[in-house]
A and B are shown apart, each in its own frame.
Chain A
Amino acid sequence: MKYQIRLDVNYDYAAAVSDARHILRVRPREDAGQSVETVKTTVEPRPDEIAPEHDFFDNRVDAVAFFSPHTALAVRMQATVTIDRPAPPLSETPSLAALTEAAAASRAVDAASPIHHLGASRRIADMPAIATYASAILGSRSRASGEAVLALNRQIHEDFAYAPGTTDVATTIEDAFAARRGVCQDFAQVMIAGLRACGVPARYVSGFLRTDPPEGQPRLEGADAMHAWVEAWLGERCGWVGFDPTNAVVAGNDHIVVALGRDYDDAQPIAGAFITAGGQRTRHRADVMPID
């Protein structure tokens, strides 16, 4: 599937901002199943520094700095991306028991290694209540891990209400779990916490969804904005597989990966640190159109 993607993010500041630094993670990743044909990022006002880089997890990053006062910031990303992601062989994955053992014993140290995605991270606390919840759904330790994870993916979708506006980036996983509702980020974090508590390596993914569904299919939740979902590590052979608990689907050819990491902090589309005396307002919009 080939897509034309456009992302617009705008910030308005109540008071002028100076000495600002940002890290942009808005360009799609070059990954297995995903090839980027063209990509262009524009930033307004013109930054005093801009450097394209890759971070530890191989996300494409633009490091941006402003040294003079400005009251607005606009980031636009346009890309053409082809997605060709085969369906993962979920039933041929190792048992949960074998998988967790393999993960804990992994000697890989590269960005794709499961060792980075076990245990709590700063934003995804390890919560006994979620552990209990997830462990019951994952089921027997001899079950194929792919099927077990798929079951959790489906059950979270069942148990949680998709309710935009009820949570924000500062909502803790405890609160979202207790309320059983939230947006894509909350769904993803609950699933990651549950998987990690049971020894399954899981990471946070941010990216895009196809805006308009193919003929006859329902429109996916979260398609107008940047979306978040989960990747679980299902053994050496299968590797990382994307699961979208918000939509109860395996991430296939409608999902375009932009950045991934241990949690939101690693994959945050636009991170910033600056001095200002006032607050800020944000708008953002994503469009993902199939070509041909």
Chain B
Amino acid sequence: MPVEPAHLRRYATLARHSHDEMMAPDGAVRPHYARLMAALSAMAPPEFDRRSASARQYLSEAGVFHQVYGEASEQSHDWPLGHPALIIDRAEWTTLCDGLVQRAGFLERLLADLYGTRRIITEGILPGVLLGQNPEFFRPLAYQGQLSTPLLSFIAIDLARGPDGRWWVLGDRTQAPSGAGFALENRVATSKAFPDLSRALNVERLAGFFRKFREMLFALGGPDRARIGLLTPGPHNETYYEHAYLARYLGLLLLEGGDLVVHGDRAEVRTVDGFQPIGVLWRRLDADFCDPLELFGASRIGTPGLVRAVRSGALTLVNALGAGILETPAFLAFQTALAQALIGEELKLPTIATWWCGDAESRGFVAESRDRLQLGPAFPGRVGEPVRPGGPRQDGDGPIGSLSPQQGARLIGREIAALSTTPVYGSAGLEPRPVTLRTFLMRDEDGWHVMPGGFARVADSADARAISMQQGGGSIDVWIPSDSPAKPVSLLGPRSDRFARRLPGALPARAADNLFWLGRYAERCESATRLLRLYAARNSEGWSEGELEARVAAILADYGVDVRAPQRGLSTLARQAANTASRIRERFSPDAWRTLKAVVDLIPPRAAPASEGEPDVVALTAAILTHLAGFAGLAHENMYQFTGWRFMQCGRALERGQATASCVSALLSGEAPGGALEALLTFADSSVTYRRRYSVDLSRETVIDLTVLDPLNPRSLAFQVNSLTEVISALPGVHLGETPDLLLRRLARLKVRLQTADAGEVDTAFVGRVASDLGLISDLVTRRYLLSSPQADTPDWIGGSV
């Protein structure tokens, strides 16, 4: 049984050193946990395991993963979700919310002052040095507090419960707080595992919070600024998954700096349909990186001119550039005076006691209390700061007392937070684990709202001093029970507003580019796999290495696949497809993404022993082809067939056309070797069709007719050209009836050539011309729709200088 009395006794022993969320000091289960504990006690172990497995399965199917900081190999890990959820008593939560809302209001005032009149400095409440040296004080925006746009709209506050049972503020996250998306996923997964429990406890839902947030973003945009983006650093960031997930969930455009351009004072998105204005960005990119011209000059992921657009008021960032200044650890040393000056109240939530070593008295105190305090940087981290060999150590191993005031100004000492513990299932049943709670707040015109729940991190071990928000550990859901059943809220169907079917907004050029290449790479992987299967099958049938095998091996070499050790090349092709897909995960279903990822996983990293090599390759190629067919099917059946889908189809058709063309000319050129016609039919997966359509024996003309000219064979060249014509005609900016541009003219000419050709006249030269026409069409599509800049083959931001 998950919870036996013996377990509880053991738990009580382990939990006696700290405040425990579930168990009172006398060993009794706290009332708000009673129902949960009763249910867990009544649950047989297999059932509990089955339930946790269903949560894990959901997370894995949804593709939830995270990347660990500082890991060179950008490996993604399973999302470590623990059970049960952290439960916070309703009445306590209400009090906590009061404190959080008050704090958010305080932070808002503080930010407005720092980017406005800076009265807290002129009045001597905050030392000027904490502004002047602050890497998050952006001088190009020094007066943005005087604009009418709000500076702070979505924040996180990290909390921990001290031994006295009160919640303490560990820190504020205002730059680009992460975790809200993960909290949402944790909730969905936990509810899958324990639907009965979350219902029985009337756990408050999260969807209402996100709906409000979304409404707020669109309200910020106003009637003319209907396009809202989520600005991400890109797929290499450790929380990119969350960005893609939230963009999809909230219906925002997922944008990178390079997708944006500033014209005049306006920010615009580069789309396949030209530049489209954008007025609001939910910023998940650290401010310093946002504009290489006015902020960090070496940033390669920003948008030159973005700061101008912000200064003019035409672009609102949530949160404002520079909001990260509120994360300055040294500010915590001045909380009481700041609150008194800015809101005229005492803060309801205490903050962790902090001393700033910039003033002599605190420096002395920190030096004396060295063993009780944790030392840390006084300022938020700055990017691009040169490494300082032998510089003053910020971990403070040296004597604090001997630091100069200038060195001390960069250092704080703070009390070490003692954390409360919460029950989490470990290998030996329930264990008390130290826990911290990240809460989320958003602001709309009615004020600040707290997300009813949060993101709780639990330590791996019971050591209450070992946890930090950055280090390992897992996370658990956070439940706020209420007295009445939760009203179902969903982002779908806000009331019953007037129904109107709307086409998706313009597609960013970068997303189109990725979709185009996803189509190409997936098809390229398939072509190479087909060829390899052909090669391996002939080998295993005992055909000696002859002219035909040599020709197939040569085509495979062009794909980067070495027939003697094909795994490596094949794996590269599969990775290209999966990596491209990972950059646009918000644009197709998790199922399709998983199918592609599975192809990568199918291919063993090293070649199998030669003795059993060949049969393995046949089986491997068959498995890969099945998965790729699955991907194509999912993309075709489930993707919304609009602009994005068209670019993917376009890439696929171009790649398939070029593959077929190169196969035809490689296999049939000059004196075609024996078996070449069969091989071509096999490659084109057209053997069955051939037998049905032609009663005659294999002949060069009939095989060419089927693989090149037949418009009904989905693998023929003519078919690819016809589908290209169809998707390209539907792309933005193509208006039938107007004088066709070069792209359409080429396409039309190619189509006619294939329609009117006779199988007898199709020779290597003919096929070569088709292939080069396809290449030109690919270039024209790229130039017209996909490139962020017309001439840049290897685009790079270069900072000019004198």
Residues on A lying within 8 angstroms of B by beta carbon are 9, 11, 15-16, 18-19, 21-23, 49, 55-57, 63, 65, 67, 69, 100, 104-109, 113-120, 122-123, 125-129, 169, 172-174, 196-199, 226, 265-266, 268-277, 279-280, 282, 284
In the assembled complex, which residues on chain B have CB atoms less than 8 Å from the CB atom of A107?
121-124, 128
Residue pairs across A and B with Cβ atoms less than 8 A apart, 5 shown, are A21-B305, A57-B139, A125-B385, A273-B293, A275-B792
Which of A21, A65, A114 has the most chain B CB atoms closer than 10 A to its own CB? A21
In the assembled complex, which residues on chain A have CB atoms less than 8 Å from the CB atom of B127?
104-105
Whether, in the assembled complex, B261 has its beta carbon less than 8 Å from a beta carbon of chain A, the answer is: yes
Q: Do the beta carbons of A104 and B305 come within 8 Å of each other?
A: no
Q: Do the beta carbons of A275 and B797 come within 8 Å of each other?
A: yes
How far in angstroms is the closest Cβ of chain A from B716? 38
A22 and B800 contact, Cβ closer than 8 Å, known pairs A271-B297, A277-B793: yes
Q: Do the beta carbons of B132 and A116 come within 8 Å of each other?
A: yes
Indicate which residue in A18, A108, A118, A270 contacts B790 across the interface (CB closer than 8 Å). Answer: A18
In the assembled complex, which residues on chain B have CB atoms less than 8 Å from the CB atom of A172?
386
Whether, in the assembled complex, B294 has its beta carbon less than 8 Å from a beta carbon of chain A, the answer is: yes
Whether, in the assembled complex, B68 has its beta carbon less than 8 Å from a beta carbon of chain A, the answer is: no
A265 to B778, CA, bound (A): 42
Q: From B401-409, B539-547, B607-615, give the one contacting chain A.
A: B401-409
Indicate which residue in B132, B391, B789, B796 contacts A128 across the interface (CB closer than 8 Å). Answer: B391
A19 to B382, CA, bound (A): 28
A49 and B264 contact, Cβ closer than 8 Å, known pairs A104-B129, A271-B800: yes
How far in angstroms is the closest Cβ of chain B from A237? 19
In the assembled complex, which residues on chain A have CB atoms less than 8 Å from the CB atom of B801?
169, 268, 270-272, 282
Q: Do the beta carbons of B118 and A119 come within 8 Å of each other?
A: no
Whether, in the assembled complex, B308 has its beta carbon less than 8 Å from a beta carbon of chain A, the answer is: yes
Whether, in the assembled complex, B131 has its beta carbon less than 8 Å from a beta carbon of chain A, the answer is: yes
A127 to B390, CA, bound (A): 8
How far in angstroms is the closest Cβ of chain A from B120? 10
Q: Do the beta carbons of A274 and B797 come within 8 Å of each other?
A: yes
Residues on B lying within 8 angstroms of A by beta carbon are 118, 121-124, 127-129, 131-133, 135, 139-140, 142, 261-264, 292-294, 296-297, 304-305, 308, 358, 382, 384-386, 388-392, 404-406, 409-410, 788-802
Please name 4 further chain A to chain B contacts, defined as beta carbons within 8 Å, in addition to the given A270-B801, A273-B293, sorted by A numbering. Answer: A55-B139, A122-B382, A197-B406, A275-B789
In the assembled complex, which residues on chain B have CB atoms less than 8 Å from the CB atom of A125?
385-386, 388, 391
Q: Do the beta carbons of A275 and B385 come within 8 Å of each other?
A: no
Closest partner residue, chain B, to A173 (CB atom): B386
In the assembled complex, which residues on chain B have CB atoms less than 8 Å from the CB atom of A269?
802
Q: Do the beta carbons of A273 and B791 come within 8 Å of each other?
A: no
How far in angstroms is the closest Cβ of chain B from A189? 11
Q: Do the beta carbons of A273 and B132 come within 8 Å of each other?
A: no
Q: Do the beta carbons of A277 and B800 come within 8 Å of each other?
A: no
Closest partner residue, chain B, to A125 (CB atom): B386
Closest partner residue, chain B, to A9 (CB atom): B802
Q: Do the beta carbons of B128 and A106 come within 8 Å of each other?
A: yes
Q: Do the beta carbons of B789 and A109 come within 8 Å of each other?
A: no
Listed from nearest, the 5 A-B pairs whose CB atoms lie closest are A272-B800, A115-B132, A56-B139, A115-B128, A273-B304
In the assembled complex, which residues on chain B have CB atoms less than 8 Å from the CB atom of A280?
798, 800
In the assembled complex, which residues on chain A have CB atoms less than 8 Å from the CB atom of B292?
273
A183 to B304, CA, bound (A): 30
Q: Do the beta carbons of B405 and A199 come within 8 Å of each other?
A: yes
How far in angstroms is the closest Cβ of chain B from A193? 11
How far in angstroms is the closest Cβ of chain B from A24? 10
Which of A9, A67, A275 has the most chain B CB atoms closer than 10 A to its own CB? A275
Q: Do the beta carbons of B122 and A104 come within 8 Å of each other?
A: no
Closest partner residue, chain A, to B258 (CB atom): A275
How far in angstroms is the closest Cβ of chain B from A170? 9
In the assembled complex, which residues on chain B have CB atoms less than 8 Å from the CB atom of A174?
386, 389
Q: Do the beta carbons of B388 and A127 come within 8 Å of each other?
A: yes
In the assembled complex, which residues on chain A have CB atoms less than 8 Å from the CB atom of B132?
113-119
Q: Do the beta carbons of B305 and A272 come within 8 Å of each other?
A: no
Q: Do the beta carbons of A128 and B390 come within 8 Å of each other?
A: yes
How far in angstroms is the closest Cβ of chain B from A68? 10
A116 to B308, CA, bound (A): 22
Q: Do the beta carbons of A19 and B261 come within 8 Å of each other?
A: yes
Q: Do the beta carbons of B802 and A282 come within 8 Å of each other?
A: yes
A271 and B406 contact, Cβ closer than 8 Å, known pairs A109-B128, A265-B297: no
In the assembled complex, which residues on chain A have CB atoms less than 8 Å from the CB atom of B799?
271-273
In the assembled complex, which residues on chain A have CB atoms less than 8 Å from the CB atom of B128?
105-109, 113, 115
How far in angstroms is the closest Cβ of chain B from A252? 24
In the assembled complex, which residues on chain A have CB atoms less than 8 Å from the CB atom of B793?
277
Indicate which residue in B131, B133, B263, B791 contacts A109 across the interface (CB closer than 8 Å). Answer: B131
A100 to B360, CA, bound (A): 13
Indicate which residue in A18, A119, A226 contacts B802 across the interface (CB closer than 8 Å). Answer: A226
Q: Do the beta carbons of A274 and B304 come within 8 Å of each other?
A: yes
A125 to B384, CA, bound (A): 11
Q: Do the beta carbons of A21 and B293 come within 8 Å of each other?
A: yes
Indicate which residue in B118, B124, B791 contacts A15 across the interface (CB closer than 8 Å). Answer: B791
Q: Do the beta carbons of B308 and A63 come within 8 Å of each other?
A: yes
A277 and B123 contact, Cβ closer than 8 Å, known pairs A23-B294, A120-B385, A128-B390: no
Closest partner residue, chain A, to B295 (CB atom): A265
In the assembled complex, which residues on chain A have CB atoms less than 8 Å from the CB atom of B304?
19, 21, 273-274
Q: Do the beta carbons of A126 and B388 come within 8 Å of each other?
A: yes
Q: Do the beta carbons of A69 and B140 come within 8 Å of each other?
A: no
Indicate which residue in A23, A100, A120 contacts B405 across the interface (CB closer than 8 Å). Answer: A100
In the assembled complex, which residues on chain B have CB atoms less than 8 Å from the CB atom of A65?
262-263, 305
In the assembled complex, which residues on chain B have CB atoms less than 8 Å from the CB atom of A127?
388, 391
A102 to B493, CA, bound (A): 61
Q: Do the beta carbons of A277 and B798 come within 8 Å of each other?
A: no
Q: Do the beta carbons of B129 and A119 come within 8 Å of each other?
A: yes
Closest partner residue, chain B, to A57 (CB atom): B139
Q: Do the beta carbons of B386 and A69 come within 8 Å of each other?
A: no
Q: Do the beta carbons of A104 and B391 come within 8 Å of each other?
A: no
A109 and B118 contact, Cβ closer than 8 Å, known pairs A115-B132, A268-B802: yes
A279 to B304, CA, bound (A): 19
Which of A126, A127, A199, A282 has the most chain B CB atoms closer than 10 A to its own CB? A126
How far in angstroms is the closest Cβ of chain B from A171? 11
In the assembled complex, which residues on chain B have CB atoms less than 8 Å from the CB atom of A114?
132
Indicate which residue in A18, A100, A173, A266 contacts B789 across the interface (CB closer than 8 Å). Answer: A18
In the assembled complex, which residues on chain B have CB atoms less than 8 Å from the CB atom of A21?
262, 293, 304-305
A118 and B133 contact, Cβ closer than 8 Å, known pairs A16-B791, A128-B392: yes
Q: Do the beta carbons of B796 and A276 come within 8 Å of each other?
A: yes
How far in angstroms is the closest Cβ of chain A from B119? 9
A49 to B308, CA, bound (A): 12
Closest partner residue, chain A, to B304 (CB atom): A273
A275 and B293 contact, Cβ closer than 8 Å, known pairs A115-B132, A199-B406, A270-B800: no
Q: Do the beta carbons of A104 and B139 come within 8 Å of each other?
A: no
Which of A11, A196, A274 has the most chain B CB atoms closer than 10 A to its own CB? A274
Closest partner residue, chain B, to A172 (CB atom): B386
A147 to B384, CA, bound (A): 35
A282 to B800, CA, bound (A): 9
A272 and B293 contact, Cβ closer than 8 Å, known pairs A106-B128, A128-B392, A277-B792: yes
In the assembled complex, which residues on chain A have CB atoms less than 8 Å from the CB atom of B123?
107
In the assembled complex, which residues on chain A have CB atoms less than 8 Å from the CB atom of B792?
275-277
In the assembled complex, which residues on chain B have CB atoms less than 8 Å from the CB atom of A277?
791-796
How far in angstroms is the closest Cβ of chain B from A204? 14
How far in angstroms is the closest Cβ of chain B from A187? 17
Q: Do the beta carbons of B293 and A23 come within 8 Å of each other?
A: yes
A229 to B268, CA, bound (A): 40
A100 to B405, CA, bound (A): 9
A226 to B391, CA, bound (A): 32
How far in angstroms is the closest Cβ of chain A from B429? 52
How far in angstroms is the closest Cβ of chain A from B125? 10
Q: Do the beta carbons of B391 and A126 come within 8 Å of each other?
A: yes
In the assembled complex, which residues on chain B have CB atoms less than 8 Å from the CB atom of A104?
127, 129, 358, 405, 409
In the assembled complex, which residues on chain A have CB atoms less than 8 Å from the CB atom of B384?
122
Indicate which residue in B122, B140, B410 contacts A55 across the interface (CB closer than 8 Å). Answer: B140
Closest partner residue, chain B, to A264 (CB atom): B801
